[in-house]
Amino acid sequence: MTTIGVGLIGTGYMGKCHALAWTGVKAVFGDTPDIRLASLCDATPELAAKKAAEFGFLKSTADWRALIADPEIDVVSVTTPNHLHADMAIAALEAGKHVWCEKPMAPKYADAERMTAAARRSGKAAILGYNYIQNPAIRYIRKLLDEGKIGAVNHVRIEMDEDFLADPDQPHSWRSEAAAGYGALDDFAVHPLSLISTLFGRVESVFGDMAKPYPDRPHQGGRRAVETFDIATALLRLPGGISGAIHVNRCAWGRKGRIFVQIFGGRGMIAFDQERLNEVQIYLAEGRPEDQGFRVILMGPAHRPYDRFIVAPGHQLGFNDLKVIECRALIGRILGEETVAIDFDEGLAIERAVHAIAQAYREGRWVTV
């Protein structure tokens, strides 16, 4: 392929991230086909036209089906609310397009299954927006684990906290509607699960709990019931007898974008905090006890693909840079390369774990995934 025609559906927070990634991927990596921003879709013609002009897309439409049918488009970015993912992704795959869909796949497991089946039938590249796994720091952690640096891993604990719903007077939104899914479990917990999938493999069994800190929120001059759970906790059993736990909270005052990973092994531990996404902490139980302590490894050009962005250490990558790396992973899949990404098959395994945790919460027992 000499060019890739891109269609973008949705221009909110993640839509802009996708647009920036498509704009920057060739400049960063240099080894991709030319990117043609063919068409953009949003809810109204006026909004779509405005965002197309801002993002640099050649055309705009308020009809997502028309965008998918456009012969100039090779790949479709789906960045709409969760309950719209399935129909859009399936239609794109059936039209012969590659798909880059934001996480989670869909609120209903049956829809995630339909998406996966469509991807298998199409033979097209189809990946999900799990960009945290693209961090050079996570790749470095994977290397440390492969080298046995901290010995046999026995426990993994991951927390994901943000405070955008911490205020009980935050207005009601689609994230509080049942159509969005369980709440923090499928909005947040899928990210720790994607890290576990990347570092250790698929979850084997789960036990779960969910909590709803605020029963209602302001809506149209009154208050509307919150239908989702903004806090979720799960115990996990992982391959090789590793125990695990994930804790996620969308109402955690003071936490802005925290994904805190702790990996404990027989000879030490590894720690990583997404709010300090260019640092990895390593503790090795070796040498004199009085000399033992954490080492902080700062990401730099030696931790690829950091070097594609900047040749100097200590200058820091950011969230949007991870999206550019993910975009290159998708292009690699389109070109037939093996790349680090969560495709629809692996995404379905994550969705299976999410629904198993919800089942464990309802039934009060361990559930096999």
The model's pTM is 0.95
> pLDDT tens digits, residue range 110-134?
999 999 999 999 999 999 999 999 9
Examine the pLDDT at 1 and tell me if it is beyond 90: no
Q: Please, are residues 193 and 146 in contact by the beta-carbon 8 Å criterion? A: no
Letter string b/e over residues 1-36, b meaning 16 or more CB atoms within 10 A of that residue's CB: eeebbbbbbbbeebbbbbbbbbbbbbebbeebbebb
3-130 placed in CATH 3.10.180.10: no
> pLDDT tens digits, residue range 246-263?
999 999 999 999 999 999
* Residue whose token pair is 């059993």: 237
Two tokens at 363? 């039934």
- Give the pLDDT confidence score for residue 292 in this predicted structure: 94
285: Cβ contacts below 8 Å, ≥ 6 apart: 267, 268, 292
Two tokens at 300? 């730099």
- Give the pLDDT confidence score for residue 87 in this predicted structure: 98
- Give the pLDDT confidence score for residue 105 in this predicted structure: 96
- CATH for the stretch 132-368: 3.30.360.10
Q: Is 337 helix (H, G, I), strand (E, B) or coil?
A: coil
Pair type for strands 268-273 and 367-368: unpaired
In whole angstroms, give the CA distance from residue 220 to residue 143. Answer: 51
> pLDDT tens digits, residue range 254-306?
999 999 999 999 999 999 999 999 999 999 999 999 999 999 999 999 999 99
Two tokens at 77? 């970015």
- Give residue limits of the domains in the chain: 3-130, 132-368
> pLDDT tens digits, residue range 12-41?
999 999 999 999 999 999 999 999 999 999
In whole angstroms, give the CA distance from residue 127 to residue 101. Answer: 6
302: Cβ contacts below 8 Å, ≥ 6 apart: 313
